Structure 1
Amino acid sequence: MSKQRIYIAGHRGMVGSALVRLLEKDPNNEIITRTHAELDLINQQAVNTFFAENKIDQVYLAAAKVGGIHANNTYPAEFIYENLMIENNIIHAAYSNGVKKLLFLGSSCIYPRNVEQPMKEEALLTATLEPTNEPYAIAKIAGIKLCESYNRQYGVDYRSVMPTNLYGPNDNFHPENSHVIPAMMRRFHEAKINGDKEVVVWGTGKPMREFLHVDDMAAASVHVMNLPLETYQANTQPMLSHVNVGTGVDCTIRELAETMKEVVGFEGELVFDETKPDGTPRKLMDVSRLNEMGWIASVSLVEGLSDTYTWYLTSKCEIRY
């Protein structure tokens, strides 16, 4: 029996590296990866040549230009251009070279700014997007519609998953550009090392957020990719393509901070700066479709934060004090 050749685009990122760790466990899989230096995904000719030469069976499209609010606001042209080019090049080259199965990884920012909670798949394109990351969101929506359109016209099996807030090993711990969990973890760790008496968290602590460990995201992605087509279609019609991935459970920022304090072992006080903005009151995915497909998240927040902190302490990521 020949091995299944699986290309993971974005294998050095948080999700891509988790997919590599998981898929490598199956001896029937042959994992294909390329660094940016080896393959520029914005270069259409290079991507076409790569697919023509490598006889790929499955594609996990986890490559993307990503960043926080500041980066999205500062570089909107780069965010929409680079993400559209990556998706266009990979999806079309996959189709042109006979790849029947592909999984596109999107983002919860595809949903309208004031969408009803929890967010259902049907809410896509029903209202206005959040202005700060609209270019990125539009690129991700285009990726969903590319998969949907190629399925309809060419009869391939290209699926899409939309994750909630992700965290875990290989996350970005940059002091200015990281998301809430890595930013908070770094702050608590440095406070512990420095012997600080308090850690200040922005806002009231009341907003609610959902967090999914990246190993769960990888497991859900592989589960969705390998579902029988009739099972997938039965749970995604009439929408045709995308499925939410999350825990279906959220917590307040205060609860997250208290759990983080315990995991890191910080013994000082927790202070909330209520002069700072809270942001959206709640962001929670409706994951009933995914649950009906037979997958439920298994990594608890405490377990996931502990795993991430262990990685943070032992990794080679640069930590400045």
Structure 2
Amino acid sequence: MPHPATWLRVTEAGLYCDPGDFHIDPTRAVPRAVITHGHSDHARPDHGAVLATAETLAIMRARMGDDRAGAAQQAMAPGEGVMRNGVGIRLVPAGHVLGSAQVVLDWQGSRAVISGDYKRRPDPTCAPFEPVACDVFVTEATFALPVFRHPPVEQEVAKLLESLRLFPDRAHVIGVYSLGKCQRLIALLRRAGWERPIYLHGALMALCALYEELGVALGPLLPVPLSKRGAPPTLAGEVVLAPPSAETTPWARRLAEPVVCAASGWMRVRQRAKARGIELPLIISDHADWDELLATCAEVEAPEVWVTHGREDALIHALSLRDVRGRALHLVGLGEEDEGEAAPVETAPA
């Protein structure tokens, strides 16, 4: 039985399956790609053939255009399988964003699971992570330090609702990434009883509409209203979602004395929140925290774990104490849009 290290290797374009002749989340255009999810550090344009979930393909088309989301596109439902040159390929939910999937590869009796990005907390907008036993588990390590232990999301949403109650004369503008975090926070607010319209920066409208088309109900959403020069600020007491750092642009001047918020796992780091001028940090992450990374590696029972990006050294050391071999893959280009930190701020029309 060949070890996955004999048939999975790192190339300049990313992780490559030799017998299957395809890449997983390649960082440049390749002839054949399997894509775990729609974030742009994992889903790049101009591949020849693309295999992904139907939701991920829809997200890629929405973000890249039909002509750049793969010359040939094959949608595969979770749990379904295909064969490529003797390699079995399955997609299993990863719990990261809508359509996100782990890639399960079987060849000649050995199995590798490539997680992509994943989280273990419940999310009303996507299917939950499903652990799969394997010989090699390829994991992210975005928050692989013991300091990163995410609180319950209900606690963070309650903080936001309490601030809305205490400051009814101020708009609450929350920095969120356009794919995943935006829709998840909307769904969490709905579950917490917020029934009023939620106002969106123009850069967030399209993907929210796509989520609705794909069956994820988000409730009443409205664009932030346009205002004439010199008009009084608006939306006091309302929830406003925008790309990270949009509150520092002229766009925010139309809002009533905004409470600047951010929803991110990085809000655990007080210096980062302070440096960004965040008044209300909300620790809401779409990635597994330290304990969840270790628990997931134990659940999949893999004797060897490869780490694609993030805090590789800390995770590999912790796994070695559990008699699990670790290996850092040093894939270039992954994690660049993590938690929206590197997402460009798009300004709505004036």
What's the TM-score, normalizing by structure 1? 0.37
- Structure with larger Rg: 2
More helix by share: 1
Query: Hey, which of these two has a bigger chunk of strand by percent?
Result: 2
Q: What TM-score, normalized by structure 2, do the two folds share?
A: 0.35
